Amino acid sequence: MARRTKRLWTDEEKRSICLQTTAPGVSVARVARRYAMNANLIFKWLRDPRYAPEPPAEPDAACFLPVEIVDQPMHDDGKAAADP
């Protein structure tokens, strides 16, 4: 049986590997197989703020707008419409 040696990853390598997990459609397991490592190690790195990639900025956060409910529709000149 071949002897395994412990792989020492640099901080930059860890950041690069963690960043690869953020691509759409890529699983952590797939990235782990690419580097012949266990996915649990990548999950451990992702919990560490030094290696976790920055969360993507939200394009436009949803917000509430004020709504005014009136009994009668308004005309363009600001007067209430007459009842027919």
Distances (CA, A) of 38 to 24, 30, 44: 21, 10, 10
Tens-binned pLDDT, residue by residue, of the chain (84 aa): 666 778 899 999 999 999 999 888 999 999 999 999 999 999 999 999 998 887 766 666 778 888 888 887 667 666 655 555
Encoding tokens for residue 55? 């969360």
| The pLDDT of residue 79 | 63
User: How far apart are the C-alpha atoms of 34 and 31, rounded to whole Å?
Assistant: 5
DSSP H helix total and E strand total for the chain: 3, 0
User: Are the C-beta atoms of residues 37 and 45 closer than 8 Å to each other?
Assistant: no
